[in-house]
């Protein structure tokens, strides 16, 4: 099957979608992007794109910080995404990757007088991890890039070198992933996902000002918790608290809802997926497939 990509205003075959070697975003990491998922609902024989609007709204905020002039509106990005998915005729879950990037050929890092281009590709993708097994993680000895250096709330392509170092060093040390602290030594997030903790029946997640990406899935978890009657709190979290939470899980578009069963070799809870984690996880998988009426407005049919 031919897979199409949207580049420079056109739908073209994936292997013909190339960009020049002098492209600014390639040389300096000056792109902003999103990771979105489309879920294939087998019973309805239909795909739903999850919280597409919120993702493109975040891309617009990222673009503003990076002096970009978006060539399209949120509605236009959404329409292009649905068009591309229709062309690619998937009958399975997919990952959707839009990138708005600085596309001039100029040498030097500045963002002004520098054209903005948009590229979008889609690819089949199922679970990153085995969602029943749970992750064994460490605390990274890297720190999260701070808001005053490279704002983590802005999804900048070049900033992901930080995530690459965190994740790769965790792998070489024998862990699935890592939790990273911010420059103040407080818990920030995972390499590419937000974190949630459970203590005495309450869900705790770091503040939006603790150097995290303000995740769409994090917000989904807070909303689902409200729906289930589980109290939530956003607050600073210290390293030493991590080891003694009742449950820990991470959340993100890619990771979805994944239990963390050990941190720095210390078992969390009884070492299995916790009760509240399981409740959120089960509901999440129903919601993303458009199966729960209350949350259907988050799911755009293709
Ligand atoms: C660093 C980082 N934190 C958190 C997340 C979770 O964000 P979202 O739920 O919007 O996918 C991501 C992306 O998936 C990420 O790259």
Q: Phi and psi at residue 69, in whole multiples of 5°?
A: -105, 105
| Helix ranges, the chain (H) | 24-28, 52-65, 74-88, 160-172, 216-228, 239-242, 275-288
Please give the pLDDT value at position 217.
98
Q: Where do the structural domains in the chain lie, given as residue ranges?
A: 4-124, 135-288
pTM of this prediction? 0.97
Average pLDDT over residues 25-37: 98
Residue whose CA is closest, atom 16 of ligand 1?
192
Burial per residue of 108-145, b for 16 or more beta-carbon CB atoms within 10 angstroms, e otherwise: eeeeeebebbbbbbbeebeebbebeebbbbbbbebbbb
From 37, 54, 154, 213, mutation site for ligand 1 pocket: most ligand atoms within 8 A of C-beta: 213
CA pair distance 61, 81, nearest whole angstrom: 19
Q: Is 163 in the pocket of ligand 1 (CB under 6 A)?
A: yes
Please give the pLDDT value at position 94.
98
Taking the CA of residue 254 as reference, the ligand 1 atom at the shortest distance is 14
Residue 133 has pLDDT above 90, yes or no: no
Please give the pLDDT value at position 113.
87
The secondary structure of residue 144, as a DSSP letter, is P
Please give the pLDDT value at position 23.
98
Q: Phi and psi at residue 23, in whole multiples of 5°?
A: -55, 130
Q: Residue 212 Cα, ligand 1 centroid: separation in angstroms?
A: 9
Residue 7 has pLDDT above 90, yes or no: yes
CA pair distance 257, 238, nearest whole angstrom: 22
Residues 6 or more apart whose Cβ sits within 8 Å of residue 12: 4, 5, 6
Q: Is 71 in the pocket of ligand 1 (CB under 6 A)?
A: no
Mind listing the pLDDT tens digit for each residue in 74-91? 999 999 999 999 999 999
Please give the pLDDT value at position 278.
97
Residue 128 has pLDDT above 80, yes or no: no
Fold of 4-124: D-amino Acid Aminotransferase; Chain A, domain 1 (3.30.470)
Q: How many CB atoms lie within 10 A of CB 14?
A: 14
Query: What H or E segment, with its residue span, contains residue 188?
Result: strand 187-190
* Structure confidence at residue 292 as a pLDDT band (50, 70, 90): very high
SS3 25: helix
Please give the pLDDT value at position 97.
98
Return the CATH architecture of domain 135-288: Alpha-Beta Barrel (3.20)
Mind listing the pLDDT tens digit for each residue in 238-286? 999 999 999 999 999 999 999 999 999 999 999 999 999 999 999 999 9
Mind listing the pLDDT tens digit for each residue in 202-242? 999 999 999 999 999 999 999 999 999 999 999 999 999 99
Residues 6 or more apart whose Cβ sits within 8 Å of residue 265: 136
Average pLDDT over residues 165-188: 98
Q: How far is CA 64 from the centre of its chain?
A: 19
Please give the pLDDT value at position 162.
98
Q: In terms of C-beta density within 10 A (0-12 exposed, 13-18 middle, 19 or more buried), how is residue 251 classed?
A: buried
Q: Residue 227 Cα, ligand 1 centroid: separation in angstroms?
A: 22
Taking the CA of residue 58 as reference, the ligand 1 atom at the shortest distance is 10
Mind listing the pLDDT tens digit for each residue in 42-53? 999 999 999 999
Residue 184 has pLDDT above 90, yes or no: yes
């Amino acid at each position: 099957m031919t897979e199409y990509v949207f580049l420079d205003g056109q739908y073209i075959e994936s292997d013909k979608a190339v960009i020049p070697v002098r492209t600014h975003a390639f040389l300096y990491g000056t792109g902003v992007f999103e990771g979105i998922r489309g879920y294939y609902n087998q019973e309805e024989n239909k795909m739903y794109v999850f919280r597409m609007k919120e993702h493109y709204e975040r891309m617009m905020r990222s673009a503003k910080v990076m002096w970009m002039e978006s060539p399209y509106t949120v509605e236009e990005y959404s329409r292009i995404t649905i068009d591309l998915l229709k062309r690619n005729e998937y009958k399975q879950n997919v990952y959707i990757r839009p990138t708005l990037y600085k596309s001039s050929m100029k040498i030097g890092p500045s963002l002004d007088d520098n054209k903005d281009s948009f590229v979008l590709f889609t690819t089949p993708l199922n679970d990153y991890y085995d969602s029943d097994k749970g992750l064994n993680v460490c605390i990274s000895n890297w720190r999260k890039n701070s808001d005053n250096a490279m704002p983590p709330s802005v999804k900048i392509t070049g900033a992901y070198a930080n995530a690459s170092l965190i994740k790769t060093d965790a792998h070489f040390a024998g862990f699935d992933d890592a939790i990273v602290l911010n420059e103040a030594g407080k818990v920030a997030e995972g390499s590419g996902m937000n974190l949630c903790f459970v203590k005495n029946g309450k869900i705790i997640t770091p503040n939006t000002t603790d150097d995290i990406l303000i995740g769409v899935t994090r917000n989904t978890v807070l909303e689902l918790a409200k729906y289930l009657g589980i109290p939530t709190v956003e607050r600073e979290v210290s390293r030493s608290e991590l080891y003694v939470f009742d449950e820990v899980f991470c959340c993100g578009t890619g990771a979805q809802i994944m239990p963390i069963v050990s941190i720095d070799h210390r078992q969390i809870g009884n070492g299995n997926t916790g009760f509240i984690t399981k409740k959120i996880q089960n509901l999440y998988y129903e919601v993303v497939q458009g199966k729960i009426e209350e949350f259907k407005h988050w799911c755009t049919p293709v």
